[in-house]
Amino acid sequence: MRICKLKKTHKKKEFDCGKQALNDYLAKIAKQDAEKDVAVCYILEGEDGEVVGYFTLSSGSIPKEEIPEKESMKLPRYSDIPLAVIGRLAIDKKYQGRKLGDYLLVEAFGEIIKVAEVLGIAGVFVDPIDESAVNYYPKFGFIKLNSSDRMFLPIATIRELLRD
């Protein structure tokens, strides 16, 4: 298995993570998002173009007041804070339970750190799709934003995680 960007040869329609919205995104929207430069889709590729899992990265920002005070005190007084966005993260049902989601998340962090070398990024946020996702992200240090289920992780925490 290896990580690469989405290609035409990937068997997107065969992917099934058990969540229809994530299946449909990969099958119908990911290529368009990449072509329109709004998201990059990274594939964990198996044999013969099989999609074992995937994640997407894009840029975004959130109002500073959305970040809990403990973290927002460490940030400058800008009204909006620049962040990387992990828009989607999914593993095919055949491969779930093998910590491949953790692997993809760490790979996403690595890509984010590369971008942070040339572009200001205060952290990353995710928008969990359901309660199981809400429960998944805190083990990496993600915290809920003030007025939504979106979750935030400071770039300093990502650097620490990748050092270990």
- Per-residue pLDDT tens digits for 100-111: 999 999 999 999
Dig out the tokens for 73 from the structure.
């005190």
95 compared with 74, residue with greater pLDDT:
95
Residues 21-41 pLDDT 10s: 999 999 999 999 999 999 999
d(CA 101, CA 91): 6
Asked if residue 55 has pLDDT above 80, the reply is yes
> What's the pLDDT at 1?
85
Q: Specify burial of residue 29 (Cβ count, 10 A radius: 0-12, 13-18, 19+).
A: middle
Indicate the class that CATH gives domain 2-163: alpha beta
Asked if residue 77 has pLDDT above 70, the reply is yes
> What's the pLDDT at 158?
93
d(CA 124, CA 155): 7
Residues 78-94 pLDDT 10s: 778 899 999 999 999 99
> What's the pLDDT at 32?
95
Of 144, 36, 125, 126, residue with least CA distance to 90: 126
Place of tokens 């995680």: 161
Q: Report yes or no: 55 and 105 within 8 Å, Cβ to Cβ.
A: yes
> What's the pLDDT at 76?
66
> What's the pLDDT at 164?
67
Asked if residue 65 has pLDDT above 90, the reply is no
164 compared with 16, residue with greater pLDDT:
16
> What's the pLDDT at 111?
95
